[in-house]
Amino acid sequence: MSPVTMRRSAILLSVLLTGGITSAEAQNSVTLPKVGDSVIQFYKVNPRDGEFRHSAFSDIQGISCTMVVKPGTPPPVSPDYSHCLRMGPLKIGMELYQLKIALINLKTIPEQNIVDPRIADKSPNGVITAVFPITTITSGEGFRMQSYLVAVIDKSGAVQVIQLTGKPSDTSTSFPFSSIFLGTPSEKVVEILGNPSSISDVPQVQGKLWSYAPFPFTVEIVNGVVYSVRIHAPSDSDYQKAFIPLKSLPEQ
């Protein structure tokens, strides 16, 4: 494990977030450090700016959101992990036109796939679900997506959900979530995020859905590797709920 000391004036600020309280605090009355306090975090995989990390410090089994700040910058006044709700250049809360520009700037996805995405759903209240093909194959059987990006956009044009699904490719590596990519082994996911709070079956792909609720992200595991990653805008109540990870993972 790599120890990282986070101080009020440090360049790397790690805010310990647990969706309210940690399982350790709930079960053992452990008092959490205040945001901005000097604490030692232990990580198996050192974090980068805008990444979540499982904290294995003492009895505090939380998840932290890491951000790079200038020396002297005060810490956040309240726990907020919006800075880490991103996949590469894509962020929760960005406008749809900004998402399209970010995809075009990668120069690895056909522009037509970006400008004119497939509209999978449009609700009466103006919420749109758009599908952007990321990696495709054209054969005698027609057009097939190897990987794709789904974005749910509210009526104001803000992106509320981002999901990346499919097989890994050079293009899909442009969308890491906290150093997790399509094809990342499940063991690596545990090193980065720790154990999920629940696991359920995904019969359509014969996989498992790892939920980190109340944190707003999930990971689908198929054949021992990441097949899909989904992040979404948290609700106010999500910040108040306890994150209680599974004590152990079921045998695969």
**pLDDT at 178 (0 to 100):** 97
pLDDT for residue 76 = 63
Q: Residue 19's pLDDT is what?
A: 42
> How far, in Å, are 47, 96, 108, 201, 220 from residue 204 at the CA level?
33, 29, 29, 9, 11
Distance CA 165, CA 226 (A): 9
pLDDT at 89: 97
Question: In this predicted structure, what is the pLDDT of residue 4?
Answer: 41
Cis peptide bond prior to 214, omega within 30° of 0? yes
**Which residues of the chain are under the pLDDT cut of 50?**
1-30, 35-38, 58
Output the pLDDT for position 41.
64
